[in-house]
A and B are shown apart, each in its own frame.
Chain A
Amino acid sequence: KNQVEQSPQSLIILEGKNCTLQCNYTVSPFSNLRWYKQDTGRGPVSLTIMTFSENTKSNGRYTATLDADTKQSSLHITASQLSDSASYICVVSANNQGGKLIFGQGTELSVKP
């Protein structure tokens, strides 16, 4: 069964600290992996999209890594800001089933001053 599991479910960090969110997937055949940021009460916004051949992709203070062999991805946030408080969703796309997207449950990040 195609699944996307994220950990931790929630995380609290102090402003200025770094953190890493994890995503494990069992989707096959793999097409790409995306990270989205969803602010409270808003729609998800894309941070990165990585294909099979990409190991790392950055978007400002956000850096995503992908290990297609172990089917793991991480999202690293550097020098966190209060505005980073949000839910971060990992989404994996299958290369069949019409490009179906499988969504993780999200990691709820809270950055405290």
Chain B
Amino acid sequence: NAGVTQTPKFQVLKTGQSMTLQCAQDMNHNSMYWYRQDPGMGLRLIYYSASEGTTDKGEVPNGYNVSRLNKREFSLRLESAAPSQTSVYFCASSESPGASGELFFGEGSRLTVL
């Protein structure tokens, strides 16, 4: 049982380049999330998908786009990377959206933008 799988694990980009972070879960969860984690700060929500076919902005959505490809997969795209987007990105999933659902996290994708 893999849980939540993220790819790639590491990536280095130059300013202005684009890339997509992939996330897949095998727990048949309805809700999926993208967070970023920066030193000295708590995890911050970028975008989330409460259910297949829906996506909503989180706390820090600027510079990102997402696609809920199907129930299993939720991708995060950086169209024109900036150094401020250097961070560790975590995908998470939960059975249901909102306050009650336990979150299961992936291992993280470490992105450096030069």
Chain A residues with CB under 8 Å of chain B are: 4, 31-32, 34, 41-46, 49, 89, 93-95, 98-106
Contacts and interface: CB of A to CB of B under 8 A. Distances in A.
B40 interface: yes
Nearest to B92: A43
27 contacts: A31-B99, A32-B100, A34-B102, A34-B103, A41-B108, A43-B90, A43-B106, A43-B108, A44-B43, A44-B90, A46-B102, A46-B103, A89-B42, A89-B43, A93-B100, A94-B99, A95-B99, A98-B50, A98-B56, A98-B97, A99-B98, A99-B101, A101-B45, A103-B42, A103-B43, A104-B42, A106-B42
Contacts of B100: 31-32, 93, 99
Nearest to A51: B100
A31 B101 CA distance: 11
Interface residues on B, range: 20 to 34
Q: Which 3 residue pairs are nearest across A and B when measured between Cβ atoms?
A: A99-B98, A103-B42, A99-B99
Question: Per DSSP, are chain B's interface residues mostly helix, strand or loop, or mixed?
Answer: loop
A9 to B, nearest CB: 9
Interface of B: 4, 40-45, 50, 56, 90, 92, 97-108
Contacts, number: 55
A15 B90 CA distance: 30
A98 B42 CA distance: 19
B99 A105 contact: no
Nearest to A31: B99
A44 B104 CA distance: 8
B24 to A, nearest CB: 14
A4 B106 contact: no
A89 B56 CA distance: 25
